Chain A
Amino acid sequence: MPKTVLIVEDNDLNMKLFSDLLEAHGYATLKTASGVEAMEIARAHRPDLILMDIQLPEVSGLEVTKWLKQDEELKTIPVIAVTAFAMKGDEERIREGGCEAYLSKPISVAKFLETVRNYLDAA
């Protein structure tokens, strides 16, 4: 059974990039552009990893991460922030917000895959 990755991303093109990359490597993907929906999907499908965009409509990815980490059953799922917020201090703030890893956009495909693999192989 392939490992499942939940991608939370509101930009269609970036969503396509991440899902194509992951699927090409044999991972199953779940997709949503909404933070609220991400919580529901996480509860229903228990993904092995979550890729989290930070700027989202309605609630921010940081807020969704907080909900995830407060949830007894979901808090063990690793969250990798993949965001275009790449100013000084952004990585610290996002890691403090509960994300296990931080990748800034534009991503390096190699580093992206390596990070994903790290968390999925460890799980």
Chain B
Amino acid sequence: MCRVAAAQILSILRARIGVLVHPAVEDEDLRRRHVDFMLAHLGAGLAALALVPIYLVGWGAPGGLTALALCCLALPVVAAAVLSRTGRLLPACAVSSLAIAGLILTVSRGTGGIGSPALLFLPLMPLTALVWGERGTALVAAAIALSAVVGVFVIESLANPAADLLSPMVAWPLSAAAAIACATALVLLAQRRDRERQRHETARHLRDRAVLGALNDLVTWHDAAGQVVFASDAARALLGEGPESLVGRGFFERVHVADRPAFLKALADARHLGRPVEVRYRLMVPPPEGRGAPTVRWVEMRIAQADCDAPDGCAVIAVTRDVSEQCRRESELEEARHAAVSANEAKDRFLAVVSHELRTPLNAIIGFSDMLASDSLCPTDEARRREYASIIAGSGRHLLDVVNTLLDVSRIESGNFTIAPEPFDLAALMRDCCDLMEVKARAAGVQLRREIVEPCVIVADPRACRQILLNLLGNALKFTPRGEVTVRLKSAGAQVALVVSDTGIGIAESDLAQLGKPFFQAHSSYDRPYEGTGLGFCVVQGLAALHGGTVEVASRSGEGTTVTVLLPRDGAGARPAATSVVQSIARARGPVSPFKEEMKKSA
């Protein structure tokens, strides 16, 4: 308690006296010494002055000697004043030394002359230079002390003219002079060593600063609690704030909340395990001028135990490096790898499905051909032989369709599909397509309804429109086991809407977004319930895009699907080639187990 109170009082006094320090004194250490000097001298001088009234009350007016002693006691105030005015320690120390010498002289005069124990203090005078600093101080103090010795000798010789030469009258001053010289030498030596140490320290300090300044990495020293006691200038580059903002809890508060436990653990580990620890975490970099959200920066921190017992409490040293760029590159690489893997998987699935779709009609073609060619298997019945021939022809045409669709997708994807827009009646085309599909619909037990406004002349590629319609109708019929399929042609401003809706099995919501990505439907799954390459819808999208149109799909699982193709009426926006859809393949994510696939609506 007492010590704390004393320290508080002292710090208040130091602050007050601080204003007296000469403005030319800038060095922190020197300032402190000036403050200490003035504090000591003002204290001593004012205490001495305070004794004057007490003396006057107790002993009356002082004699010559006592008055001189009192003057010497007050002289330190003058020393403090000199320091404050000049800002130089040397003259102040000289005044101080004069005061001490004067005091010793007067006291020795009153307490036994040459034998006075007060004279023992004279050799100690140069030692004051150890406290106040400069070499000159020690020499001045020594000179004053020697003068005091001479003074004592002269005074005592006058007082005892009959003294023996070998008496203490001679021996004492010589011994005192030797002692003073010895003390001075010791002080000079000590000061020299101190100066050298300081020079080394300054050099090391400058070198350290240069090293820290040359580093891009932020260097921080942390105390045992993880608080920063020092941060290097690199803080500015990393966080946009000066190093002082990191001191204390500043650094910790900039660590991403989710990463704080790992951060603290790494600091503690480095301290306790005694080996360097590395940790990667996020730093929240405050926005410039404090506006907007902080940006996140990934950093890597290498922490090592500080093997110094530093007075500032430094326990670990940490080097923090910005690895945001590296992290970004790593994640890009991972994404690219993932995309490549997905694309490869998609390609494998695609090949498997294409193989399956080609082999199915080929089986009928080769099988029936073999039968017709075989002596033992060829049917004797003429009608049956014709039937086989027509099956072979039909399967061949189906095979051709598959191959054509594949080629279309391939050309659309590579941008080599060209369209030839011309004015024609879309309503008539739709009627034709419906007539064509009517047989198939009837065979499947599905009612094909038409709501077509006629005539409807648009500028587009009739072949592509026919393909779009046949694909959509084929899909709708395939996925509508019973019920109805409706074809509508509507006007929609500058566009025409070509709508095919069914009451079929529909598409699960989770699959809707994937629809139209090439190969998506192409699952090489043994569970795949419907035949088809799964590329029909992809062709529809590609052809619509070539016309500057769009395709929308609305569907609910079990309730049916509505596909709306919007095409510009005047052919505006038609492009010679579609943009590649390869990117969308790359975006199709997720590994696919070939055995456990959801049933997908495939075209």
Contact = CB atoms under 8 A, between A and B. Distances in A.
Contacts of A108: 366, 370
Contact of B367 (A58, A61, A106): A106
B527 interface: yes
A29 interface: no
B529 A14 contact: no
Interface stretch (B107-115, B144-152, B354-362, B416-424): B354-362
Contacts of A58: 529
B66 interface: no
Interface in A75-123: 84-87, 93, 104-109
B391 A104 contact: no
B395 A13 contact: yes
B365 interface: yes
A61 B355 CA distance: 18
A61 B377 CA distance: 28
A26 interface: no
A20 interface: yes
A104 B362 CA distance: 11
Contacts of B363: 14, 17, 84, 105-107
A32 interface: no
A49 interface: no
A117 to B, nearest CB: 14
A66 to B, nearest CB: 11
Interface residues of B, number: 32
Nearest to B357: A84
Given A54-B526, A109-B377, A13 B364 contact: yes
Contacts of B595: 62, 93
A43 B595 CA distance: 26
Interface string A66-78: 0000000000000
Interface in B347-397: 351-352, 355-357, 359-368, 370-371, 374, 377, 379, 391, 394-395
Given A84-B355, A86-B355, A55 B526 contact: yes
Interface in A8-27: 10-11, 13-14, 16-17, 20-21, 24
B282 interface: no
Interface SS of chain A: loop
A34 to B, nearest CB: 11
A106 B351 CA distance: 17
A106 B356 contact: no
B351 A87 contact: yes
Nearest to A56: B529
A21 B367 contact: yes
B537 to A, nearest CB: 19
B524 interface: yes
B519 to A, nearest CB: 15
Nearest to B376: A24
Nearest to A109: B370
A60 B594 CA distance: 12
B55 interface: no
Contact of A60 (B379, B391, B526, B530): B526
A107 B367 contact: yes
A37 B377 CA distance: 30
Nearest to A54: B526
Contact of A106 (B359, B377, B379, B525): B359
Given A84-B356, A87-B351, A105 B370 contact: no
B511 interface: no
Given A14-B360, A60-B527, A85-B526, A106 B365 contact: yes
B41 interface: no
Given A17-B363, A84-B360, 15 more contacts: A11-B531, A14-B367, A17-B367, A55-B528, A56-B529, A57-B530, A84-B355, A84-B357, A87-B351, A87-B352, A87-B524, A93-B595, A106-B365, A107-B366, A109-B377
| Those 5 A-B pairs whose CB atoms lie nearest each other, nearest first | A84-B359, A105-B363, A109-B370, A106-B363, A13-B364
Interface of A: 10-11, 13-14, 16-17, 20-21, 24, 54-63, 84-87, 93, 104-109
27 contacts: A13-B364, A13-B394, A14-B367, A16-B391, A17-B368, A21-B371, A21-B377, A54-B526, A55-B526, A60-B527, A61-B526, A62-B526, A84-B355, A84-B356, A84-B357, A84-B359, A85-B356, A86-B359, A87-B351, A87-B524, A105-B360, A105-B362, A106-B359, A106-B363, A106-B367, A109-B371, A109-B374
Interface of B: 351-352, 355-357, 359-368, 370-371, 374, 377, 379, 391, 394-395, 524-531, 595
